[in-house]
Amino acid sequence: MRGHPWNSLHAGDRAAPASEEDCLALINALFPERSEHFRLERDDDCAALSLSSGSLALSTDYFLEDVHFRAAYFTPAEAGAKALSAAVSDLAAVGAVPLGFSLGLLLPEGLSRAALADCLAGMAAKARACAIVLTGGDLSRGPCLGFCLTVWGAPVAEGAPFPARGRARPGDCLFLIGEAGLARVGLEALEALGREALSRYPASCAAHLDPPVLLAEGQALARLARREPALSLMDCSDGPARDLPRLLAGSGADLRIDPGLIPEEVRREAGRQGIAPEDIFLAGGEDYALIGSCPESCWPLAREAVPAARLLGRVREDSLFFCNGAPLSLAALSGFDHFAAPAGKN
């Protein structure tokens, strides 16, 4: 690995590369401001802006070739669509109604007009499906094909709060909407086999290439959160092992991962690798599922609002995690980190 030229400005053996945590800590230290114009919660994936008149949820996401997708097995249309799905899923996770998005498009030399057109057509179809409108953006030459999307949306009803993290209390129910582990099996199969993988792992490949955007589900829970402020919700795009601690903000959980919670292709792949299916389920990322918590009394209402919600377990008073009764180290399960993972593996 060649060092970056700016390392010479700060030479010496101790010029450590920056990790994701370093970056976030630096950003929080250097940008401590609060605004008189809006209240914001910056720790979540989505900034919630309470303007003097109405509020907006806003989120930015990169989707880059060889970091987030491979041109080898994504069609251009799939890449364009997934760039938007991944960004809009942050709005789904706060129960927002998508309004608009701004597109930062990075174009490498030599990309054909036809590939670009297919890519944008895939994005446009997804935008129609999500009822989100392109407002503008920026085009730039770049070293790879890439997208940086900023999306924003409104609350489901005037004055309704956006469900967020960190509201869970001991004894609350933990739930999952969508699948966990499937997209990771798809990623690994696609990396190994290319599009040949589609016939052997159809559900997994579909989960990686075209993840569902759970807008209706997030909005249904946001409506419920008007009556039940302790309901919390977030996007599980980095996998439960990384995202559960973020959701719980210090609390632990007794997880109950029934075999029925684990997709069949995940169980099959775990058998082939000789590992526990729960490990793939918990470590897998990029499923864009939703995880959340609510008080026990609210769980029947949550199930009624979102029949696809499935119980994952209960929030503990301490910060320990157990899975089906056995102690569990979530840190030991590799989640997704764009900084730690090799190219294409996140």
**How many other CB atoms are found less than 10 A from the CB of residue 143?**
11
In whole angstroms, the minimum distance from the beta carbon of 10 to a copy of itself comes to 4
* Residue whose structure tokens are 């792949």: 269
User: In the complex with a copy of itself, which residue's Cβ is closer, 21 or 258?
Assistant: 21
Dihedral sign, Cα of residue 304, residue 309, residue 312, residue 316: negative
Question: Nearest CA to 284 among 336, 222, 217, 339?
Answer: 336
In whole angstroms, the minimum distance from the beta carbon of 234 to a copy of itself comes to 14
Give the binding range for a copy of itself (CB under 8 A) out of 124-132, 174-182, 216-224, 281-289: 124-132
Q: Which of residues 142-201 bind a copy of itself (CB under 8 A)?
A: 142-146, 148, 150, 154
Q: Does 135 bind a copy of itself (CB under 8 A)?
A: yes
User: In the complex with a copy of itself, which residue's Cβ is closer, 65 or 278?
Assistant: 65
**Of the residues 113, 199, 325, 326, which one makes contact with a copy of itself according to CB under 8 A:** 113
Q: Which of residues 199-228 bind a copy of itself (CB under 8 A)?
A: none
User: In the complex with a copy of itself, which residue's Cβ is closer, 73 or 175?
Assistant: 73
User: In the complex with a copy of itself, which residue's Cβ is closer, 145 or 289?
Assistant: 145
In whole angstroms, the minimum distance from the beta carbon of 12 to a copy of itself comes to 9
Asked if 250 contacts 142 with a C-beta cutoff of 8 angstroms, the reply is no
Q: Does 13 bind a copy of itself (CB under 8 A)?
A: no
Q: Does 236 bind a copy of itself (CB under 8 A)?
A: no
**Of the residues 111, 206, 230, 308, which one makes contact with a copy of itself according to CB under 8 A:** 111
Q: Does 334 bind a copy of itself (CB under 8 A)?
A: no
Q: Which of residues 80-109 bind a copy of itself (CB under 8 A)?
A: 99-100, 102-109
Give the binding range for a copy of itself (CB under 8 A) out of 19-27, 198-206, 252-260, 284-292: 19-27
**Of the residues 13, 136, 250, 259, which one makes contact with a copy of itself according to CB under 8 A:** 136
Q: Which of residues 21-80 bind a copy of itself (CB under 8 A)?
A: 22-24, 26-27, 30-31, 33-35, 37-38, 40, 42, 44-47, 49, 51-54, 56, 58-62, 64, 66-68, 71-72, 75-76
User: In the complex with a copy of itself, which residue's Cβ is closer, 63 or 175?
Assistant: 63
Q: Does 112 bind a copy of itself (CB under 8 A)?
A: yes
Residue 23, Cβ density class (10 Å: 0-12 exposed, 13-18 middle, ≥19 buried): exposed
Q: How far is CA 341 from CA 62, 281, 303, in A?
A: 16, 18, 36
Calculate the CA 230 to chain-centre distance.
22
Taking the C-alpha atoms of residue 324 and residue 242, their distance in angstroms, rounded to an integer, is 18
User: In the complex with a copy of itself, which residue's Cβ is closer, 49 or 308?
Assistant: 49
Asked if 281 contacts 239 with a C-beta cutoff of 8 angstroms, the reply is no
Concatenated DSSP letters of 227-266: T-TT-EEEE-TT-HHHHHHHHHTT--EEE---GGGS-HHH
User: In the complex with a copy of itself, which residue's Cβ is closer, 72 or 216?
Assistant: 72
The angle at the Cα of 117, spanning 343 to 112, to the nearest 5 degrees, equals: 65
Taking the C-alpha atoms of residue 238 and residue 286, their distance in angstroms, rounded to an integer, is 6
Give how many residues touch a copy of itself by CB under 8 A.
97
Question: Nearest CA to 260 among 311, 335, 186?
Answer: 311
Taking the C-alpha atoms of residue 22 and residue 91, their distance in angstroms, rounded to an integer, is 26
Taking the C-alpha atoms of residue 45 and residue 149, their distance in angstroms, rounded to an integer, is 13
In whole angstroms, the minimum distance from the beta carbon of 32 to a copy of itself comes to 9
Q: Which of residues 244-273 bind a copy of itself (CB under 8 A)?
A: none
Residue 163, Cβ density class (10 Å: 0-12 exposed, 13-18 middle, ≥19 buried): buried
Q: How far is CA 261 from CA 5, 62, 174, 304, 313, in A?
A: 48, 30, 13, 19, 12
**Of the residues 50, 120, 160, 301, which one makes contact with a copy of itself according to CB under 8 A:** 120
